[in-house]
């Protein structure tokens, strides 16, 4: 599933090619993604140009004069830039065609992605309650500490809640908790300020490492076959259940939290209040 680093990589890949381009036409081949694509887009967008390209959480925002195109890649979505007249394949659901002939194409086999339009995107129901961006100064240990007091939810669930902080998916949560030596089931309200300092540092480090690695795939962005391949981090716990811990050599354990597999090391990730 595209996570925040992949969305950031996508943004950096497309931004130089779409900024200030004028939209010629919009082709919707399959209007039913996670939500219906507004059928007004092919009428509304032509003639407008892309003023800014940005990201909020896992949403890509392309602002035009009358509003903002909101794109989410869902479970399997991918954006690619193609040259004039590239013929669509089976899962190519939406094309934004620019006046120079370039095509911004959304491919989404599982159709959990979204293409929406809003005149005030930050007030949109999908965006208005999002927590801070994890790589900004607003996301810090004091914030998490205050926000978590009295909360009994597992710390892993807490940091994966997009109203607390955006973009910390399952992989990044598991890896950051390992790095901060925190048990995933530790109650969020019982994590100390010092532990949150370590956790925030770990989250920023692991996300930055992914973005940096993703950057190396940017040169492939114009490849119409789009086998960009989401990069593989050097994962220490995620997906390594049963394999030896890189620190203590005991086997990596797994438990289910909120129906998600949660890999962790029983020995390295302290569990002071977990029986
Ligand atoms: Zn260990």
Determine whether 8 is an active site residue. no
Query: What's the token pair of residue 67?
Result: 């509003």
The larger pLDDT score, comparing residue 274 to residue 50, is at: 50
| Confidence at residue 39, expressed as pLDDT on a 0 to 100 scale | 94
Residue ranges with strand state E in 90-163 = 92-98, 103-107, 114-118
Cα of 253 vs centre of ligand 1, distance in Å, is 10
Q: Is the pLDDT of residue 155 over 50?
A: yes
Determine whether 31 is an active site residue. no
Q: Is the pLDDT of residue 275 over 50?
A: no
Cα of 262 vs centre of ligand 1, distance in Å, is 15
Cα of 180 vs centre of ligand 1, distance in Å, is 12
Q: Enter the pTM of the model.
A: 0.87
Q: Of these residues, 58, 78, 156, 236, which one is catalytic? A: 58
Indicate left, alpha or beta for 115 from its phi (over 0: left) and psi (-120 to 50: alpha).
Answer: beta
| Confidence at residue 3, expressed as pLDDT on a 0 to 100 scale | 84
Determine whether 58 is an active site residue. yes
Cα of 134 vs centre of ligand 1, distance in Å, is 26
| Confidence at residue 232, expressed as pLDDT on a 0 to 100 scale | 55
**Is 125:70 a contact under the CB 8 Å cutoff?**
no
What DSSP state is assigned to residue 181? T
The larger pLDDT score, comparing residue 210 to residue 52, is at: 52
Write the pLDDT tens digit of every residue in 58-68.
999 999 999 99
Write the pLDDT tens digit of every residue in 216-245.
444 444 433 444 444 456 789 998 999 999
The helix or strand, by DSSP H or E, that contains position 29, with its residue range, turns out to be none
Percent of the chain whose pLDDT exceeds 70: 91
Cα of 270 vs centre of ligand 1, distance in Å, is 10
| Confidence at residue 271, expressed as pLDDT on a 0 to 100 scale | 66
| Confidence at residue 221, expressed as pLDDT on a 0 to 100 scale | 44
Query: What's the token pair of residue 176?
Result: 């950051």
| Confidence at residue 212, expressed as pLDDT on a 0 to 100 scale | 79
Determine whether 175 is an active site residue. no
75 phi and psi angles, rounded to 5 deg: -90, -30
Q: Is the pLDDT of residue 5 over 90?
A: no
């Amino acid at each position: 599933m595209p996570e925040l680093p992949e969305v950031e990589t996508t943004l950096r890949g497309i931004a130089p090619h779409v900024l200030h381009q004028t939209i010629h036409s919009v082709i919707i081949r399959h209007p039913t993604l996670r939500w219906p694509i507004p059928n007004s887009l092919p009428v509304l967008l032509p003639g407008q140009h892309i003023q800014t390209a940005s990201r909020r959480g896992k949403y890509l925002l392309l602002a035009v004069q009358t509003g903002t195109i909101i794109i989410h890649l869902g479970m399997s979505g991918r954006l690619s830039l193609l040259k004039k007249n590239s013929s669509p394949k089976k899962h190519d659901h939406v094309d934004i065609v620019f006046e120079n002939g370039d095509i911004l194409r959304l491919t989404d086999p599982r159709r959990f992605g979204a293409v929406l339009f809003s005149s005030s995107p930050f007030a949109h129901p999908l965006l208005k309650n999002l927590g801070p961006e994890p790589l900004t100064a607003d996301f810090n240990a004091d914030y998490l500490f205050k926000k978590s007091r009295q909360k009994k939810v597992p710390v892993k669930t807490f940091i994966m809640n997009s109203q607390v902080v955006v973009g910390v998916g399952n992989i990044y949560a598991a890896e950051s908790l390992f790095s901060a030596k925190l048990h995933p089931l530790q109650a969020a309200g019982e994590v100390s300020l010092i532990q949150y300092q370590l956790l925030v540092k770990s989250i920023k480090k692991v996300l930055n490492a992914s973005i940096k690695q993703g950057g190396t795939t940017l040169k492939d962005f114009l490849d119409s076959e789009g086998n960009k391949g989401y990069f593989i981090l050097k994962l220490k716990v995620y997906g390594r259940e049963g394999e030896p811990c890189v620190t203590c050599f005991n086997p990596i354990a797994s438990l289910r939290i909120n129906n998600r597999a949660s890999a962790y090391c029983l020995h390295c990730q302290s569990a002071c209040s977990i029986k």
